[in-house]
Amino acid sequence: MHFLSDSAETFEDLTDKTYPFAFMLCTAGYLVTMLADLIIVWVYEKQDQSSSIHSANPLQKTAGMGDTESGVTTLNSQDLHTVDGGVQMVKAVSLVKKTSIGDSLLLVLALCFHSVFEGIAIGVAATKHDAWRALWTVCLHKIFAAIAMGIALLRIIPDRPFLSCAAYAFAFAISSPVGIGIGILIDATTQGRVADWIYAISMAFACGVFVYVAINHLLLKGVIQNPNKGAIPFDKPFYKYLAAVTGAGLIAVVMNWD
């Protein structure tokens, strides 16, 4: 809501055309992120199919061992059923782990991508007042984004490895300062109008990326019912919906002073 409106206002200042460039780029960012998500799922499915083909030959050999005696045949069929069930379980666990890794990577990349462009917005600000306004806005919602990312990663990653979570957190933390440096470099080496075009395009595209991640990764993981319902009293879909509505209401009120 905040950055998409800024992008739309910048496009209005840059061109006389009434075409909604900001919303078109936001949609493009959403679709590009969806395509990346589908590619990740497709790659993992291909890897899973190849692993299942390699594991099928030993099972076929086991099935052909008991043709002479009915008792041995029955035993081999039971063993085959057991082995096949184990393969299916390993296959399911492997798919869950691969999908979790893909979700976590996509989530962190999208958040870092969005944070870099937030930093660029601070770096290319025209005045000191605009830079400070963008800085406190980014810091305010980055705190809640970091908390949401941490909770989502702990739910997505099965084993919760410390080094991976620390690396994801470091990448998310360093992305905005990197964006600020890029924005200062753009502002120092290009004309103001070019910097405005870069800001408007990048902000609109990043909004689409963040909307996709928020809906399909953050909110989706939050709405899914936790099997340990008694562990946390507020771990229910209603309270999560109430939290999302509260966040939307807060940003709607804050926009009055933007």
Cβ contact 132:121 at 8 Å:
no
Q: What is the pLDDT of residue 225?
A: 55
Six-digit token pair at 180? 């600020």
Q: What is the pLDDT of residue 230?
A: 54
Contact 129, 191 (CB under 8 A): no
**Maximum CA extent, the chain:** 88
In the chain, the DSSP E strands lie at none
Tokens, residue 51 = 């692993």
User: Six-digit token pair at 28?
Assistant: 């493009």
Task: Report the phi/psi class of residue 160: left, alpha or beta, with left for phi > 0 and alpha for psi in -120 to 50.
Answer: left
Q: Minimal CA–CA distance to 198: which of 189, 127, 228, 226?
A: 189
Q: Please give the residue that has the higher pLDDT: either 155 or 246.
A: 246
Report d(CA 240, CA 221) in Å as an integer.
10
Give the residue from 118, 79, 76, 138 showing the smallest Cα distance to 207. Answer: 118
Task: Give the whole-angstrom CA distance, residue 37 versus residue 216.
Answer: 10
Residues whose CB falls within 8 Å of the CB of residue 180, separated by 6 or more in sequence, listed in order: 119, 120, 122, 123
Residue with tokens 């899914």: 224
Cα–Cα distance measured from residue 121 to residue 200, given in angstroms and rounded to the nearest whole number:
9
Residue range 188-202, pLDDT digits in tens: 887 768 878 887 888
CB atoms inside a 10 Å sphere around CB 162: 8
- The tokens for 169 are 């957190």
Tokens of 79: 């063993």
Structure-token match 């990326």, residue found: 209
pTM over 0.85: no
pLDDT digit string (tens) for 7-57?
A: 898 899 999 998 999 999 999 989 998 898 888 778 877 776 776 665 555
Q: Which of 4-8, 72-76, 122-126, 231-235 has the lowest mean pLDDT?
A: 72-76
